[in-house]
């Protein structure tokens, strides 16, 4: 009798596996090209001058800072190999890695650090400038040690050495020049794992391997192409057809994620946003009635079905926010008032205050279809409790202008928290940050002297237990008053090919992720 085909195949496989041991895990290999979406196109790549999201994502692989951060926001070495903190929390001394070179071959030293921090970024980086107000002096102790002396303890200080917050800038190129018009801005030079090669506007940005990188064997990749694809559906198609290998978080509509993650050779991760902790909320214009009444603001919170928004609008990618500090950010507290979906409570509060039914203007965030759907869902929720809402759609420029001029009642937004309430949360609530001209400060016009004092004290309290106690009290107060309407702690899933390994290894994800990434055969 002749053996069946299945028996023959079984015999062949038995012999194969007997002579070919299974590979448990692949070892990193050098070589390869990765194609990534970047959207919108960055306005520039000189990270010391421009810090918007697309710039940070590309240029974070060209430039570096002293530290990186793991997903728990603990600092890990980068250009600094070690650091010491004085017992009183005022003096930080960093030992720098030796034999680090800029992309043009010049040596990186402590003098670059002093120039970067004390001269360049104090002038060019508004967000960092606020933190640097706590720094009394920066000193080079030889070529490979640098000392920061603070005016008083500043709790989040060790968290500001992320590449988008404090990118190291080459002193030999910028010292004595007009920073914003320096020709080197068009060909950025850092110490990072990749060098700038080419930028074809409207098409792509090309980075190539830094063969003289200060970590032996890294990076593994030869090249990265960042593709500019303005339309969201076209970005999804580019992944489906193989034109791109990586879709960064937020680059496609949330309803496309489930379809794409089911494709062969595809991975999805929600990691890599821990440092930023994007926090979505509604600006509430506290200056005008009825929004100036805390009861009206609480009614908005009870009226919104935020669980529906998470499950349907964001397809499960998010967590209902409990207050101003994200659960991914240090000093988050759960000991606050909670606002479940409760239309009856909302109606009771509106009745108690004698709300007259005046229509409320709501500005959606013009960042895609999901945001428009979300605005429509909120309008429906508020209409159901008796708050008539008029959607006033704008483009990005119009949205910015309306917020800059405080011309709104409610408006969607989301902001980054940068790992610490003093860095990314306080700016939304302290009264000293009320000023026209920016959509990122205290746009709501909320003013509470107790909250101002608590934010100020918590930023400089030492040690961390004292900071936690102050932030606990602060969150209780703010959540009672509802100066803004918290929505979701957003999650932006990154989609990429399964044969790409170690793409997201830190709390800022793709912004410094390609140094470790490698492509499996």
CA distance 368 to 360: 22
pLDDT at site 11: 40
CA distance 515 to 69: 14
Q: What letters, b where the CB count within 10 A reaches 16 and e where it falls short, cover 347-380?
A: bebbeebebeeeebebbbbbeeebbbbbbebbbe
pLDDT at site 21: 39
CA distance 509 to 69: 10
Q: Is the peptide bond before 224 cis (omega within 30 degrees of 0)?
A: no
Q: Are 100 and 108 in contact (CB under 8 A)?
A: yes
pLDDT at site 25: 53
Q: Is the peptide bond before 219 cis (omega within 30 degrees of 0)?
A: yes
CA distance 332 to 334: 7
With H, G, I as helix, E, B as strand and everything else as coil, classify residue 69. strand
User: Do strands 266-269 and 494-497 pair parallel, antiparallel, or not at all (unpaired)?
Assistant: antiparallel
Angle between helices 294-303 and 464-481 (to 10 degrees): 90
Give, for 302, the enclosing helix (H) or strand (E). helix 294-303
CA distance 518 to 506: 15
CA distance 157 to 150: 9
Dump the DSSP string for 135-186.
Answer: EEEEEE-SSSEEEEEESS--TTGGG--STTTS----HHHHTTS-GGG-GGGG
- Token pair belonging to 349: 């509060």
Closest CA to 434 of 448, 445, 423, 422: 445
Fold of the 26-62+192-273+493-521 domain: D-Maltodextrin-Binding Protein; domain 2 (3.40.190)
Give, for 258, the enclosing helix (H) or strand (E). helix 254-261
Q: What residue spans in the chain does CATH classification 3.10.105.10 cover?
A: 279-490
* DSSP assigned state of 468: H
Alpha carbon of residue 238 to chain centroid: 24
Q: 281 CB contacts (<8 Å, ≥6 apart)?
A: 321, 413, 414, 415, 484, 485, 486, 487
CA distance 392 to 159: 38
Q: What residue spans in the chain does CATH classification 3.40.190.10 cover?
A: 26-62+192-273+493-521
* DSSP assigned state of 513: G
Cα 200 to Cα 42, 171, 196, 345: the distances in Å are: 12, 28, 12, 56
Strand order through the sheet with 246-247: 194-200, 204-209, 223-228, 33-38, 246-247, 494-497, 266-269
With H, G, I as helix, E, B as strand and everything else as coil, classify residue 17. helix
| Beta-bridge mates of residue 415 | 279
Fold of the 70-172 domain: Dipeptide-binding Protein; domain 1 (3.90.76)
Size of the chain, expressed as the number of residues it contains:
521
Q: Are 75 and 82 in contact (CB under 8 A)?
A: no
Closest CA to 106 of 177, 171, 197, 167: 171
Q: Is 237 exposed, middle or buried (0-12, 13-18, 19+ CB in 10 A)?
A: middle
CA distance 322 to 451: 18
Per-residue pLDDT in tens (0 to 9) along the chain, 521 residues: 333 333 333 443 343 333 333 344 579 999 999 999 999 999 999 999 998 899 999 999 999 999 999 999 999 999 999 999 999 999 999 999 999 999 999 999 999 999 999 999 999 998 899 899 999 999 999 999 999 999 999 999 999 999 999 999 999 999 999 999 999 999 999 999 999 999 999 999 999 999 999 999 999 999 999 999 999 999 999 999 999 999 999 999 999 999 999 999 999 999 999 999 999 999 999 999 999 999 999 999 999 999 999 999 999 999 999 999 999 999 999 999 999 999 999 999 999 999 999 999 999 999 889 999 999 999 999 999 999 999 999 998 999 999 999 999 999 999 999 999 999 999 999 999 999 998 989 999 999 999 999 999 999 999 999 999 999 999 999 999 999 999 999 999 999 999 999 999 999 999 999 999 999 98
With H, G, I as helix, E, B as strand and everything else as coil, classify residue 361. strand
Q: Is 452 exposed, middle or buried (0-12, 13-18, 19+ CB in 10 A)?
A: middle
Q: What letters, b where the CB count within 10 A reaches 16 and e where it falls short, cover 277-298?
A: bbbbbbbbbbeeebbebebbbb
Please count the other Cβ atoms lying within 10 Å of the Cβ belonging to residue 74.
Answer: 12
- Token pair belonging to 486: 């918290």
Q: What residue spans in the chain does CATH classification 3.90.76.10 cover?
A: 70-172
Torsion of CA 419, 425, 426, 432, to 10 degrees: 130
Give, for 481, the enclosing helix (H) or strand (E). helix 464-481
Alpha carbon of residue 254 to chain centroid: 17
pLDDT at site 52: 87
Closest CA to 156 of 518, 467, 501: 467
| Beta-bridge mates of residue 461 | none
Q: Are 514 and 505 in contact (CB under 8 A)?
A: no
pLDDT at site 42: 94
CA distance 92 to 101: 24
pTM score of the predicted model: 0.90
What CATH code would you report for 279-490?
A: 3.10.105.10
């Amino acid at each position: 009798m002749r053996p069946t085909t299945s028996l023959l195949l079984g015999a062949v496989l038995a012999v194969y596996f007997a002579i070919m041991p299974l590979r448990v895990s692949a070892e990193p290999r050098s070589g390869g090209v990765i194609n990534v979406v970047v959207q919108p196109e960055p306005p520039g790549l000189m990270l010391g001058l421009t810090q918007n999201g697309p710039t940070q994502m590309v240029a974070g692989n060209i430039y570096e800072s002293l530290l990186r951060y793991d997903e728990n926001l603990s600092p890990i070495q980068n250009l600094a190999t070690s650091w010491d903190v004085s017992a009183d929390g005022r003096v930080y001394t960093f030992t720098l890695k030796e034999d680090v070179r800029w992309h043009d071959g010049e040596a990186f030293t402590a003098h670059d650090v002093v120039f970067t921090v004390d001269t360049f970024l104090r002038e060019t980086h508004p967000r960092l400038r606020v933190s640097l107000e706590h720094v009394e002096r920066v000193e080079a102790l030889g070529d490979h040690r640098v000392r920061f002396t603070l005016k008083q303890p500043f709790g989040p200080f060790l968290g500001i050495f992320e590449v988008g917050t404090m990118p190291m800038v080459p002193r030999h190129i910028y010292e004595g020049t007009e920073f914003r018009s320096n020709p080197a801005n068009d060909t950025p030079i850092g110490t990072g794992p990749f060098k700038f090669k080419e930028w074809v506007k409207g098409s792509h940005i090309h980075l190539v391997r830094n063969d003289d990188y200060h970590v032996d064997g890294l990076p593994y990749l030869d090249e990265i192409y960042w593709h500019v694809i303005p339309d969201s559906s076209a970005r999804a198609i580019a992944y489906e057809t193989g034109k791109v290998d990586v879709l960064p978080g937020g680059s496609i509509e949330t309803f496309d994620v489930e379809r794409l993650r089911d494709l062969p050779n595809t991975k999805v991760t929600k990691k890599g946003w821990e440092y930023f902790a994007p926090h979505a909320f509604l600006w509430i214009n506290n200056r005008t009635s009825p929004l100036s009444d805390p009861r009206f603001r609480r009614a908005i919170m009870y009226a919104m079905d935020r669980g529906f928004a998470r499950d349907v609008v964001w397809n499960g990618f998010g967590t209902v926010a409990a207050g101003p500090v994200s659960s991914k950010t240090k000093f988050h507290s759960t000991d606050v008032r909670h606002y479940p979906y409760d239309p009856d409570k909302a109606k009771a509060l509106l009745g108690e205050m004698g709300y007259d039914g005046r229509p409320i203007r709501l500005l959606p965030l013009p960042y895609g279809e999901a945001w428009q759907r979300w605005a429509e869902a909120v309008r429906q929720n508020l209409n159901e409790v008796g708050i008539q809402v008029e959607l006033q759609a704008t483009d990005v420029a119009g949205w910015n202008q309306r917020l800059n001029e405080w011309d709104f009642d409610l408006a969607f937004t989301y902001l980054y928290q940068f790992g610490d309430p003093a860095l990314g949360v306080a700016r939304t609530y302290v009264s000293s940050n009320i000023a026209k001209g920016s959509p990122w400060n205290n746009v709501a016009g909320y003013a509470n002297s107790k909250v101002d004092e608590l934010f100020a004290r918590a930023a400089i309290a030492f040690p961390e237990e004292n900071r936690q106690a102050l932030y606990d009290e602060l969150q209780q107060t703010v959540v009672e008053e509802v100066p803004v309407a918290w929505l979701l702690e957003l999650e932006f899933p990154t989609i990429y090919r399964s044969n790409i390994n170690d793409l997201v290894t830190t709390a800022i994800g793709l912004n410094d992720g390609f140094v470790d990434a490698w492509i499996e055969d």
